[in-house]
Amino acid sequence: MTPDAPVVLLHAFPLNASMWAPQITALAGHQLLTPDFPGFGGRPVGPPDLDEFARVVLEEMDLARIPRAVVVGLSMGGYVALRIHALAPDRVAGMVLADTRAGTDDKEGRAKRIEQAARARKEGTGWLQDAMVPALLGETTRRDRAQVVKRVRELLGEADPEGVARALEAMGNRPDSVPRLAEIQVPVLALVGEEDTLTPEEEAKRISDGVWNGRLTVIPRAGHLSNLEAPGPFNDALLEFLG
Ligand code: MLT
């Protein structure tokens, strides 16, 4: 990896690009792009399709004159990073796939997404904070890091109902990236919070074992939102990979 490669940071669901605040200073030596996906961070909604999310990122790369970048995606951002690689492998110099999985949802998971999309359209997104914080944040953060809990609740509070509904539908329909892992010929770092229960370590290991040049780093005392929960170790792992 080149130490000054441009870096694209892709956010989790149902947050927005401002979740990357703890990474901005650490990555100051790099040209950085932190796009919001359609329906998040004030960007208009689009079709419920992660390939459309990937195309929006590729267009932003064009506008910023970035031919090739290290793509860093956390959770939903990781699903999109894998789609960017599938659609335009030449645009990807390396990938950091954090707290994510390469496989699809099971039947139950898909049904839950349909139910939650309907709820967002009917009730708005006020319920997301209580429903998601226990799953998004690790037990250490929920116990000891009140500021992080507050910030994540704020970010969840910004979510737009139709954006949430379409992202849920897009994630529920995403293609299986497991059969494609062996085709990924760029370096990949799989990162995972030790306390991530949504996409636990075995999912990260599946990615790092499946690609041609993969490595795995586990972030201690962090859950699913490892970049916000343990920014120091997250940034160290990122910078080591980039360098
Ligand atoms: C995320 O953090 O982006 C979500 O957990 C992804 C998902 O719901 O599969």
**What tens digit of pLDDT does each residue of 197-216 get?**
999 999 999 999 999 999 99
Residue 38 and residue 59 in contact, taking contact as beta carbons nearer than 8 Å: no
Q: What is the mean pLDDT of the chain?
A: 97
Q: How far is CA 137 from the centre of its chain?
A: 14
pLDDT reading at 2 higher than 90: no
Q: Which two tokens stand for residue 204?
A: 């990260």
The CATH code of domain 7-242 reads 3.40.50.1820
Chain-centre distance of CA 219, in angstroms? Answer: 16
Q: How confident is the model at residue 76 (pLDDT cuts 50, 70, 90)?
A: very high
| 3-class secondary structure, 96 | strand
For the stretch 7-20, pLDDT in tens is 999 999 999 999 99
Look up tokens 């909604």; give the residue.
45
Question: How confident is the model at residue 6, as a pLDDT?
Answer: 97
- Binding site membership of 198 for ligand 1 (Cβ less than 6 Å): yes
d(CA 7, CA 61): 10
pTM of the complete model beyond 0.85: yes
Q: What residue type is assigned to position 221 of the chain? A: R
* 179: amino acid identity, one letter: P
**Phi/psi at 120 (5° precision):** -60, -40
Q: How far is the CA of 48 from the centre of ligand 1 (A)?
A: 15
At 78-124, the pLDDT tens digits run: 999 999 999 999 999 999 999 999 999 999 999 999 999 999 999 99
CA–centroid distance, 56 to ligand 1, in Å, is: 19
Model confidence band, residue 3 (pLDDT cutoffs 50, 70, 90)? low
How far, in Å, CA of 111 to CA of 100, rounded? 20
- Helices 161-172, 107-123: inter-axial angle, 10-degree rounding: 170
Closest CA to 82 of 105, 98, 66: 98
User: How remote is the CA of residue 67 from the centroid of ligand 1, in Å?
Assistant: 28
Give me the pLDDT at residue 4, please. 80
The predicted model gives 153-161 an average pLDDT of 96
- The Å distance, Cα 32 to ligand 1 centre, comes to 23
pLDDT of residue 205: 98
Ligand 1 neighbour 53 (Cβ under 6 A)? no
| Protein residue whose Cα sits closest to atom 7 of ligand 1 | 76
- Taking the centre of ligand 1 as the mean of its atom positions, its distance from the CA of residue 13, in whole angstroms, is 5
Give me 115's structure tokens: 């139910």
Ligand 1 close to Cβ of residue 171 (< 6 A): yes
Whether 38 has a pLDDT exceeding 70, the answer reads yes
The stretches of 42-138 forming alpha helices (DSSP H) are 50-63, 76-87, 107-123, 128-136
For residue 36, pLDDT over 80 is answered with: yes
- CA nearest ligand 1 atom 4, residue: 13
Residue 112: both structure tokens together: 């839950």
Residue with tokens 């116990």: 143
- Does residue 227 contact residue 22 with C-beta atoms inside 8 Å? yes
Ligand 1 atom with the shortest distance to the CA of 100: 6
Residue 211 phi, psi dihedral angles, 5° rounding: -90, 170
User: Residue 1 — pLDDT band, cuts 50, 70, 90?
Assistant: low
Which residues are within 8 A (CB) of 210 and not within 5 positions of it... i.e. 6 or more apart?
A: 102, 178, 181, 182
Question: Where are the chain's structural domains?
Answer: 7-242
